[in-house]
Amino acid sequence: MKRLTIAIDGYSSSGKSTMARELAKRIGYVYIDSGAMYRAVTLYALEHGMVGENQEIDSERLSASLPEIRIGFEPAGPDGIQHTLLNGRDVEKEIRTMEVSSSVSPVAAIPEVRNHLVKLQQALGEEGGIVMDGRDIGTTVFPEAEMKVFVDASAEERARRRVLELQEKGTPAAYDKVLENIKERDRIDSTRAVSPLRKAKDAVTLNNDRMSREEQMEWLIELYNSIVSHAENN
Ligand code: DC
């Protein structure tokens, strides 16, 4: 059976990572969370004093440090979650804190950071059989991907989900603050000069405001099956 490249893009906390991970598991593909890579670079910048009080980034120093930033993934362990490694250290928990979330959009807007990570992402997907989620996967990383999904949900619904997620992880946060952070990230991600968050022309939109996780999976699997059978019949 043909192994596709699947791009899942969308807004922060739209649930796309959960969907992408689950889809990859069900169809036996590799899952890559590209946002985790931007988060790992952000953590590196924070740990090396490259982020100012107002989230201004020392982009020159960070760009010069990129060759020293090794990002990897550890296959899913007992928690079923793939862990992100920064220079060999498991940083899965640290990259999800509000501190990293507040600085990641300006880091992801630096062209050198994007060029570097896009190349890494393309190398990871060379063989196909991959589900990658992010903001520019269908537009820039894999413009030729056979399956492209754009996930949409209201900022309020996304903030509600994010608060629950943070609570479950033992790092509670106030709804208003989370909502503000989500709106600010939407603004920066959608208006940056390089690869802004945009729906690819050939992507299919999924608005999941009122969909359960299982309904979303059914929708995705149906789309996947129709693309596979179309590819096999042509
Ligand atoms: O999906 P996430 O919230 O973990 O992503 C973290 C940040 O990284 C988000 O603000 C946008 C950015 N990002 C990006 O610019 N391009 C990607 N392919 C993935 C994430």
Chain Cα centroid distance, residue 87: 20
How many angstroms separate the alpha carbon of residue 34 from the centre of ligand 1? 7
Which DSSP symbol is given to 193? Answer: S
Whole-number pLDDT of residue 185? 86
Report the residue among 6, 34, 102, 135 best suited for mutation to probe ligand 1: largest number of ligand atoms under 8 A from its CB. 135
202: pLDDT strictly greater than 80:
yes
Main-chain phi, psi angles of 23, to 5 degrees: -60, -45
Whole-number pLDDT of residue 42? 98
Measured between alpha carbons, how far is 13 from 219 in angstroms, rounded to an integer?
Answer: 19
- For ligand 1, atom 13, which residue shows the shortest CA distance? 35
Whole-number pLDDT of residue 131? 96
- For ligand 1, atom 15, which residue shows the shortest CA distance? 108
Maximum alpha-carbon separation in the chain: 57
Report the residue among 21, 99, 104 best suited for mutation to probe ligand 1: largest number of ligand atoms under 8 A from its CB. 104
Binding-site residues, ligand 1, Cβ < 6 A = 12, 34-35, 38-39, 104-105, 108, 134-137, 185, 189
How many angstroms separate the alpha carbon of residue 141 from the centre of ligand 1? 13
Query: For residue 39, which atom of ligand 1 is closest to its CA?
Result: 6
- For ligand 1, atom 5, which residue shows the shortest CA distance? 35
- For ligand 1, atom 10, which residue shows the shortest CA distance? 105
Amino acid at site 178: V
E strand or H helix at 85: strand 83-86
Whole-number pLDDT of residue 188? 86
Q: What is the mean pLDDT of the chain?
A: 92
164-200 pLDDT, tens digit per residue, is 988 988 888 899 999 999 999 899 888 988 888 889 9
Q: Is the distance from CB of 215 to CB of 135 less than 8 angstroms? A: no
Q: Is the dihedral of CA 56, 135, 185, 98 positive or negative?
A: negative
Q: Is the dihedral of CA 158, 159, 164, 170 positive or negative?
A: positive
What angle is formed at CA 119 by the lines to CA 113 and CA 122, rounded to 5 degrees? 135
Query: For residue 9, which atom of ligand 1 is closest to its CA?
Result: 18
Token pair 């690869």 in the structure block, residue? 195
2: pLDDT strictly greater than 90:
no
- For ligand 1, atom 14, which residue shows the shortest CA distance? 135
Q: In 109-203, where does DSSP find H-type helix?
A: 111-124, 155-168, 175-191
Secondary structure (3-state) at 171? coil
Whole-number pLDDT of residue 169? 81
Whole-number pLDDT of residue 231? 80
Whole-number pLDDT of residue 113? 97
Q: What share of the chain is helix, strand, coil (3-state, %, to 5)?
A: 50, 15, 35
5-228 homologous superfamily: P-loop containing nucleotide triphosphate hydrolases (3.40.50.300)
27-73 pLDDT, tens digit per residue, is 999 999 999 999 999 999 999 999 999 889 999 999 999 999 999 99
75: pLDDT strictly greater than 90:
no
Domain boundaries defined on the chain: 5-228
Report the residue among 17, 37, 38, 148 best suited for mutation to probe ligand 1: largest number of ligand atoms under 8 A from its CB. 38
